[in-house]
A and B are shown apart, each in its own frame.
Chain A
Amino acid sequence: MKYSPFSIKHLQQTFGFHFLRFCMGVVILILIVVFHDIFSKGFGIISWEFLTTAPRKGMTEGGIYPAIVGTFYVTVLTTIFSVPLGMGCAIYLNEYAPDSKLTRLIRMSIRNLSGVPSIVYGLFGVALFVELFNLGTCLLASGLTLGLMTLPWTITASEEALKSVPRSYREGSLALGATQWQSIRTNVLPYAVPGMLTGTILGLARAAGETAPILFTGAAFYLPFLPESLSDQFMALPYHLYIMSTQHHAIMQVRPIAYGTALVLIVLVFLLNLSAVVLRYQLRKRYRE
């Protein structure tokens, strides 16, 4: 019964354990390098002025204020478009739709759509909103395109949240003479909505950082003013970053601005994700009580 660390079994275990630890180490290391790079090069330029003024002198000086506002606007539009639609769709699929071949096909398509590259959505947005609906390249067209892109995410996440509400809540209320809608409204949604929101926010965070869908549908290279209506073009953080790091005429000169933009974008996405985590925590607390 004596423990022998050099037996085959124990060696296997030691090797396996260290290999897994190595994998995790690599991931953490990459993350640290990326963060360090962006922070060290971008932090210096961040100032109140950088955050609140427009670019100047061919975008070699000044701030990124229009890009922040533009990203905010387009994210709000995306939310308005995709959240109600996605949640409604999820409720229908999970609560009402019969378990038929068609339903399964629809569900599978939605899952697949969430894997479609964002550039495809961008082109689709051009064809549908810009051309067919004749909206032109504008805030609305971009918001709708991003909304389309996040829909599969919203639906899938919402469905998962609905599935996590125990069957017994539904049966319990139905057995008390509730209609199906009463049962969903009073005994399913209150417990599913926080979870639905969590998933949705993660989707929005991804949308906020996307370049491809807005590239052809509404984002502007440079605008000296803020968008005033839905049919205006707008600047956005990811697109701005893309330009500053690849398209600008004085690319080395604007490098710090590019890093600053990247930092702001990361912080924005981080904040969105953080709010999702907080929501999820609240949700769990509510279930446990």
Chain B
Amino acid sequence: MDQIKVQVKDFNFFYGQAQCLKNISLDIMTHEVTSIIGPSGCGKSTFLRCLNRMNDLIISTRTEGTILIDGTNIYEKDLDVVKLRKKVGMVFQKPNPFPKSIFENAAYGLKINGLKDKNLLAEKVEQSLKNAALWGEVKDRLNDNAFKLSGGQQQRLCVARALAIEPEVILMDEPASALDPIATAKLEELIVHLKERYTIVIVTHNMQQAARISDVTVFLMQGELVEHGKTSEIFTRPMKKVTEEYITGRFG
């Protein structure tokens, strides 16, 4: 515990001429859930996607500063992005299972990383589905198309898919925004369980959700880190007035 997993230092992110992230410095601790909140367009998703360099896919972006994961700068020139993304998994806003069977979805990451042994594959798929609290619901229909699952199940399948390649950090970009309250509750329960083994960073619009599941809350506004601290402190006694206005719904 209390070990720094991700260390963001004076990080800037530019999209064309626009600066989306301004001088962000932040330490993310091992085995904690860190939630990032802030108004739409504040750069919270952008920030999350900087942590596994998903923003590389977008043309004409530029970064300054460093992000260290386990002490390695992930923006170093000769860094293997593929290895980084194995270590830093991601779950997206909308459940995005591939149009393949449930098994194939969970096995995808393993297969592209070269695992061929069928028994080992089956074993790991089962384990990751169990870890994502989905095994009991799908064990009899692993060959069904993933699209037949409900939205909540699909999202947990996406979590299982990410868990299968044994990442150390899991990024979640508003993972419950397309789910109903019950599916949301299940996913939140899962997140709280997962933090025993993983370091989780979650972007959310839902402040109650951030309050319920995270240890640390980060408040971003217009690309700047306004305030961060223990979730219980941020939600009962924020230091800054804008934070207070935002979390009490008096913003703007």
Contacts and interface: CB of A to CB of B under 8 A. Distances in A.
Nearest to A180: B57
A169 interface: yes
Contact of B112 (A166, A182, A287, A289): A182
A175 B59 contact: no
A228 interface: no
A98 B90 CA distance: 25
B209 interface: no
A286 interface: yes
5 contacts: A172-B158, A176-B162, A177-B85, A178-B82, A187-B108
B64 to A, nearest CB: 21
A179 interface: yes
Interface stretch (B71-79, B94-102, B116-124, B220-228): B94-102
| Residue picked from B86, B89, B112, B158, most chain A C-beta under 10 Å | B112
B54 interface: yes
Contact of B96 (A169, A287, A288): A169
B249 to A, nearest CB: 31
Contact of A176 (B83, B89, B94, B145): B89
B112 A176 contact: yes
Contacts of A187: 98, 108
B92 A176 contact: no
A91 to B, nearest CB: 16
B117 to A, nearest CB: 18
Given A178-B82, A289-B147, A173 B59 contact: no
Query: Lowest 10 CB-CB distances: which A-B pairs, in order?
Result: A168-B96, A176-B109, A177-B86, A175-B90, A177-B85, A178-B112, A289-B145, A172-B96, A99-B59, A182-B112
Nearest to B148: A289
B94 A168 contact: yes
B113 interface: yes
Given A177-B85, A177-B86, A177-B112, A172 B98 contact: yes
Interface of B: 52, 54, 57, 59, 82-83, 85-86, 89-90, 92, 94, 96-99, 108-109, 112-113, 145, 147-148, 158, 161-162, 165
A177 B98 contact: no
A179 B92 contact: no
Contacts of A169: 96, 98-99
What size tier do the contact residues of chain A reach? Answer: 20 to 34
B109 A174 contact: no
A287 B96 CA distance: 13
Given A176-B109, A289-B148, 9 more contacts: A172-B158, A173-B108, A173-B112, A175-B85, A176-B112, A177-B113, A186-B108, A187-B98, A288-B147
A258 to B, nearest CB: 49
A176 B108 contact: yes
Given A176-B108, A177-B109, A177-B113, A168 B99 contact: no
B52 A175 contact: yes
A175 B54 contact: yes
Interface string A127-153: 000000000000000000000000000
Contacts of A61: none
A282 to B, nearest CB: 13
B165 A176 contact: yes
B94 A179 contact: no
Interface in A166-202: 166, 168-169, 171-179, 182, 186-187, 191
B213 to A, nearest CB: 21
A98 B61 CA distance: 12
A169 B161 CA distance: 13
Given A171-B57, A287-B99, A289-B147, A177 B83 contact: yes
A175 B162 CA distance: 8
Contacts of A98: 59
B54 A174 contact: yes
A177 B147 contact: no
B167 to A, nearest CB: 9
Interface in A82-139: 98-99
Interface string A249-289: 00000000000000000000000000000000000001111
Nearest to B96: A168
Contacts of B85: 174-177
A174 B83 CA distance: 11
B175 to A, nearest CB: 13
A172 B112 CA distance: 12
A228 B22 CA distance: 71
B220 to A, nearest CB: 22
A173 B164 CA distance: 13
Contacts of A289: 99, 145, 147-148
Contacts of A173: 98, 108, 112
